[in-house]
Structure formats: C-alpha cells, structure tokens
Amino acid sequence: MNVTVENLAPCKKLVRFEVDAKAVDEAFGSVTKDFVKQAKMPGFRPGKAPEAMVAKQYAKDIEEEVKRKLIGESYRQGMKDQKLNVVGYPDIEEIQFGRGQALQFAATVEINPEFELPDYRAIPAKREPAVVSDEDVEKAIDALRGQAADFKKVDREVKEGDYVVINYTGTSDGKPLTEIAPTARGLTEQKGFWVEVKPDSFIPGFAIQLVGAKAGEKRTVNVDFPAEFVTPQLAGKKGVYEVEVAEVKEKALPELNDAFAKTYGAENLDKLREGVRKDLQNEVNSRQKRSIRNQIVKTISEKVSFDMPETTLQIETRNVVYEMVSENQRRGVPKELIEQKKDEIYNAATGIAKERLKISYLFHKISEKEGIRADQNEMNTRITLMAQANQMAPQKFLQELEKRGGVAEVYQQLIHEKVLDFLHENASIEDVPAGSLAQS
C-alpha cells in the first residue's frame, strides 16, 4: 500500500491511498469465499453453491463489502503508519475501484494540533493572604440579621433607608417605555413594587426622590437611564415616572443574642460567630486557590500558540453559545434582546471556545508526559457524587452517561483537575500584600 499526505491547513490533511491490484483481487477472492459459506441458493445446501454462481448472484454486495473492508483496513493502517491523531470522522472520496485494478481513494482528515509544550513547572503566581478579620465576621452576622429582618408598616413620611411599596407608570419623551423598548414591560408599569429608599435602588436616583412622601401620596419622579443600562433602547435617555406610594415600611432587625443564634442552628452567639468565621475562611481559601490557578492557566496559555481543528472549534463554540443563551434566559433576558445580540454572543463564544480547547490540548499533553491518570475508584466516586447531585441512583446515572457517551467527558474532567493540582503543587508562588492583585 502506498500512502501520501498533503497539508491543506494547519490541522487538516489530504491523505491519498493506493492499494495494488493484487491485494484488491485477493480481497475479492476472500470475500467471495465468505459469501459462499453463507449463501442460500435454490438446489444447493448452505455453503455448497458454486463460487462462480454466488459471485454472479451477489456481485454488487460482494463489491460493496470488498470496498468497505479494503478502505477501512487501509485507512486505519495508514493513520497508524503516518502517526496522524485524527479528530472526528474522515471525508472519504473514492477515485478508482474494481477487479484487476488498484484501489485509489483519498481521505480528508482533521488532526489534533501539533505543538511543543512550554515549560510548565515553577509557573509564577502571586498569593494574597487568606485572612478573615473580626470585621468580616460582624458584616456576615449583620447580613444574617438582614435576612431575618421584619418589615413593619409605619404611618409617617418616607425616610432614607425605609422600604416603600409603590405603583408606577413610566414614560420617555411622552411615550410609554414599551414603545421604545417593547421588552421593558416591568419598567413601564408595576403595582405593589417594593423598593429600598437609597440612591442606587431600582433606577439610580429613583427611590431617593420619594423621601418625605406619605402613603397615598403621588409624585413625579425624573430619572436618567445610565449609559450602560440593561435595556439598550433606554440607555442614556431621560425617563418620567408617575409614582403612587401605597405603603411605607420600616426595616426592623432582630436583636443580636443567643436566641437569634439558635434560629441558625447554633448553640449560642459565640458558636454562631465561630461557624460564620469557619465558613468565611473556607470561602477565602477557595478564592485564594482559584486566584492562583487562574494565574497559572493564564500564564501557560500565553506561552504557546497553535491552530485548532475547525470542526472541533465549531462544536465547542456551539456548546458555549448554548451555555450563554441558557444563562441569559435564567437571568430573565428577553428572547428578543438575545436575538438582537446573537452576533455579539457568537463572537464572544468563539473566543471562549478557543481558550477552552487550548487549555484542554495543553493539559492533555501534560497528562501524557507526566503519566497523570484517573483510576476506576476515582471514576466511581465522581460518578456517585454527580448522581447524588442529580438525585439519581449511581447505576442509573452511569447508564444515562453511557447512552450519551459522557463517561469519557467525566474522565477528562478528572484529568483536567489532576493536571491543575500538579501545576499548582509545582508553581512558584510569591506572597504579596492584600489588595495587590486587585490593583495589578
């Protein structure tokens, strides 16, 4: 067999195959004999029909089987001999095939990128101290008190810091806001809307204009929609709201004592503070670890550049687009706005997909070089945890994974984490003052 390789693009090659006529005829003979063994023809016992008769009767089927067998075997051997790490499926073009002549075909294939690993040991990273102060603990306790606050209806004028329940309608240039931004129904009219009276609540400058009003009073509120407003059609425009104050409410925080601590499952106030400090410390430690690892990934990514296989990049880009659209929908972004921004979303998704794939290729190559593997126990543990998160029995969850080919993905996730652990353990970490990273 003769194989030649042509470069079409950085990750795309055209591989030409030629199998000599002798090998083709031998394949015809072998396949024909197999057909004879299985053939059922009138007047003959199974496997006893004359070969010439079988060859004539099943000529088309025999030809297709010879072609399938020769192309499949030649392709696999050719990829092995040429050491081509193919992505996805080849595009096969038949050029010449028949008895007594050489088989010629070509395969257009995409391959994984070829690149030299950069130095990945002793990657520099900066580490800020992971310290929880008494002030941090008290702020967290105050937040817990805020969650347990009571809102008492009061018969007095609105003060800053109060909560008001209002009914409103909004316009801009004398038109209802929905005429300018059809998706902005909530901004145009609401009844029974709660808002905290402080400068940045709802629309900046809106709530503070209600100071001094009483329940039942109506006011005209003028606002300037910010330049980066969530509804683009209103960004930078002026708005006018007719507001009716339905109720004035005062926020009453619970007393900070042992009884309050017990509502959060703590024995007393000191134990609550201990628990809060521990939770905050875990958060700070996680944030510190995440910061170091983000630095490591960014640094190693910047050390190397290579092209991506087009098909793989397209698939990953589609995955990222789906994630971004789903996230926007969860946040309540209207479909119309998502549609308007589809080009922007696609461009952003392409960039994210490229970076994800780049790290994936880098980590895969590092795992091969360092012999980083995940054993069956680790796989079982991960799948069990995933099953619990999805409220499914582990065996059933595994079956679902296998149906959609997700087991390999779980394995790759484990390898990714192990490589990240390895890079972190071998990084060159410098301790810096608190706040240094935010300023850099």
Asked if residue 396 is part of any domain, the answer here is yes
316, pLDDT greater than 90: yes
Beta bridge partners of 91: 108
Same-domain pairing of 231 and 269: no
Q: What is the CATH number of the domain that holds 72?
A: 3.30.70.1050
Same-domain pairing of 101 and 201: no
Average pLDDT over residues 249-260: 95
pLDDT tier for residue 40 given thresholds of 50, 70 and 90: confident
Would you call 275 helix, strand, or coil by DSSP? helix
Average pLDDT over residues 99-115: 95
Task: Report the alpha-carbon distance of residue 357 to residue 359 in Å, rounded.
Answer: 5
| End-of-domain residue from the set 228, 252, 276 | 252
Q: State the DSSP code for 208.
A: G
By CB atoms closer than 10 A (0-12, 13-18, 19+), residue 192 is exposed
Q: State the DSSP code for 210.
A: G
Tokens of 360: 């994936």
Same-domain pairing of 292 and 432: yes
Contact of 362 with 304, CB cutoff 8 Å:
yes
Classify each residue of 208-246 as buried b or exposed e, where b means 16 or more C-beta atoms within 10 Å of its C-beta: ebbeebebeeebebebebeeebebebbeebebebebbbe
Asked if residue 119 is part of any domain, the answer here is no
Contact of 105 with 93, CB cutoff 8 Å:
yes
How many other C-beta atoms lie within 10 A of the C-beta of residue 366? 19
Asked if residue 118 is part of any domain, the answer here is no
| End-of-domain residue from the set 111, 141, 170 | 111
Asked if residue 224 is part of any domain, the answer here is yes
Same-domain pairing of 356 and 326: yes
Give the tens place of pLDDT for each residue, 52-91.
999 999 999 999 999 999 999 999 999 999 999 998 889 9
439, pLDDT greater than 60: no
Same-domain pairing of 433 and 316: yes
Same-domain pairing of 276 and 389: yes
Contact of 364 with 415, CB cutoff 8 Å:
yes
Asked if residue 129 is part of any domain, the answer here is no
Task: Report the alpha-carbon distance of residue 39 to residue 53 in Å, rounded.
Answer: 10
Contact of 256 with 269, CB cutoff 8 Å:
yes
Q: How many domains does the chain have?
A: 3
Instruction: Of 224-233, 352-361, 422-431, give the lowest mean pLDDT range.
Output: 224-233
440, pLDDT greater than 60: no
Q: What is the CATH number of the domain that holds 379?
A: 1.10.3120.10
Task: Report the alpha-carbon distance of residue 92 to residue 95 in Å, rounded.
Answer: 10
Same-domain pairing of 384 and 287: yes
Task: Report the alpha-carbon distance of residue 78 to residue 5 in Å, rounded.
Answer: 10
Same-domain pairing of 183 and 235: yes
Q: Which residue blocks in 303-341 are alpha helix, DSSP H?
A: 310-330, 335-340
Helices 394-403, 376-389: crossing angle, 10 deg rounding: 100
Average pLDDT over residues 316-345: 89
Contact of 172 with 239, CB cutoff 8 Å:
yes
Question: ∠20-23-27 over CA atoms, to 5°?
Answer: 140
Asked if residue 260 is part of any domain, the answer here is no
Nearest C-alpha neighbor of 301 from the set 348, 363, 349, 364: 363
Per the listing, tokens 């509120």 go with 221
> How high is the mean pLDDT of the chain?
93
Percent of the chain having pLDDT more than 90? Answer: 86
Query: What is the pLDDT at residue 432?
Result: 94
Same-domain pairing of 363 and 410: yes
Same-domain pairing of 327 and 401: yes
Q: How many CA atoms lie within 13 A of 26 on its CB side?
A: 6
* C-alpha torsion sign, points 256, 262, 263, 264: positive
Same-domain pairing of 182 and 248: yes
pLDDT tier for residue 348 given thresholds of 50, 70 and 90: very high
Task: Report the alpha-carbon distance of residue 276 to residue 145 in Å, rounded.
Answer: 13
Asked if residue 142 is part of any domain, the answer here is no
Task: Report the alpha-carbon distance of residue 96 to residue 83 in Å, rounded.
Answer: 25
Query: What is the pLDDT at residue 335?
Result: 83
Give the tens place of pLDDT for each residue, 144-190.
999 999 999 999 999 999 999 999 999 999 999 999 988 888 999 99
Tokens of 171: 């316009």
Same-domain pairing of 180 and 321: no
Asked if residue 16 is part of any domain, the answer here is yes
11, pLDDT greater than 90: yes
Task: Report the alpha-carbon distance of residue 361 to residue 223 in Å, rounded.
Answer: 51
Domain that holds residue 9: 2-111
Task: Report the alpha-carbon distance of residue 382 to residue 355 in Å, rounded.
Answer: 25
Q: What is the CATH number of the domain that holds 207?
A: 3.10.50.40
| End-of-domain residue from the set 218, 252, 286 | 252
Tokens of 31: 């396949």
Give the tens place of pLDDT for each residue, 201-240.
999 999 999 999 999 999 999 999 999 998 888 999 999 9
Q: State the DSSP code for 253.
A: P
